[in-house]
Amino acid sequence: MGALISSQAGAKPALDTLLATSLLTPDHRERLRPYFREIVYLPGIGKELPDDVLRRVDVVYGLLPPSVDRPELVPRLKLVQLTSAGADRALENPLWKSIGKEGGEVVLTTAAGVHVGPIPQWFIATTLSLYHKLHEQILITHVEKRWPSGDEFGGPMFVQELRGKTVGVLGYGHIGREAARLAKAFGADVLAANSDGKRKRQEGYIVPGTGDVDGSIPSAYYSTTSASSFASFLAKSDVVFLSLPSTPSTRYIMNEKTIAKMKPSAILVNIGRGDLVDTSALVRALDTGIIAGAALDVTDPEPLPPNHTLYGRKNVIITPHLSGRTVKYFDLAVDILVENLDRIKAGKELVNRVDLKRGY
């Protein structure tokens, strides 16, 4: 258990100044006002932040600009609460390497859980679209303005059902667990793969009514660090859903060798990070029928350049990294900040804390 941000029992926590570089509405500021004597709102990390603000800031909501790269620039800083579910962009700042090496007390937390509504729904929507060929039907009726027959989609009876399929969830965090819950509701069997192949309770900030708190939905767990276990997971899955962060151990986890373990009828769905998938290997797999299709909200490179070979394929759905853009996004991010501020006051461990050595 890491160091806590705490205050003396019964005393008001020593949090004077909040610096917000991400969106704060007037309603958000009213929610946060009881926790701070001062709220400094400077949206956008491209701005140079005044030295006097940096010297007195206790909590940052959002990203720090790259110029704030040394702990001595922010001597009172206790917490950086990101509005993103991942920490990879934040960890590019040398500040965190210094804090990690020196054993500093500054805590970095993410907004993991903020996407638990929209992204699993995107997963279901795109999977069903590929199974029903909805995107093809919509394109014909919208662009060509005609009434196609079922024969144009592989025969009069061409629809695949999610019911009875096996959905393999690679990365069983907030998003993966909610995707599993929805897939099971559609009648699919669910498998899960994580680093050790063991069932775990859900941690971090949990939106009520979502996910799989006790990890009981998957019928089996598999290990990504065991080649044979991971191969079995891929071979059994009709849909492989990637919801992993980008780390040295996950980059290109889906490559020529691992994609080849999938069923020829399987589809690959990626909402994690583009570099989880070797794009060249994916293209070859689609070209040669090693797998049947893909749905991608993230790509490598990102954005895909114009006329990239992945564009325009009937068996590939691409969206421009917008699957998580819920209108509730920043309300949920502030919910997580408030949860952590309450935990500071109570002297409890914070939710969604980033392990600086592991990178997530």
Please say whether the beta carbons of 245 and 88 come within 8 A: yes
Burial of 253 (0-12, 13-18, 19+ CB in 10 A): buried
CA 182/CA 190 separation, integer angstroms: 10
The active-site residue, picked from 132, 135, 308, 321, is 321
Collect all residues with Cβ–Cβ distance below 8 Å to 205 and sequence separation of at least 6: 111, 112, 113, 174, 335, 336, 339, 351, 352
Which residue's structure tokens are 């005044």? 50
In 3D, which of 297, 299, 303, 265 has the Cα closest to residue 282?
299
Q: What percent helix, strand, coil does the chain show, rounded to 5?
A: 35, 15, 55
Please say whether the beta carbons of 287 and 313 come within 8 A: no
Please say whether the beta carbons of 223 and 249 come within 8 A: no
CA 241/CA 20 separation, integer angstroms: 34
Query: Is 308 in the active site?
Result: no
Collect all residues with Cβ–Cβ distance below 8 Å to 234 and sequence separation of at least 6: 168, 240, 258, 261, 262
Active-site residue set = 321
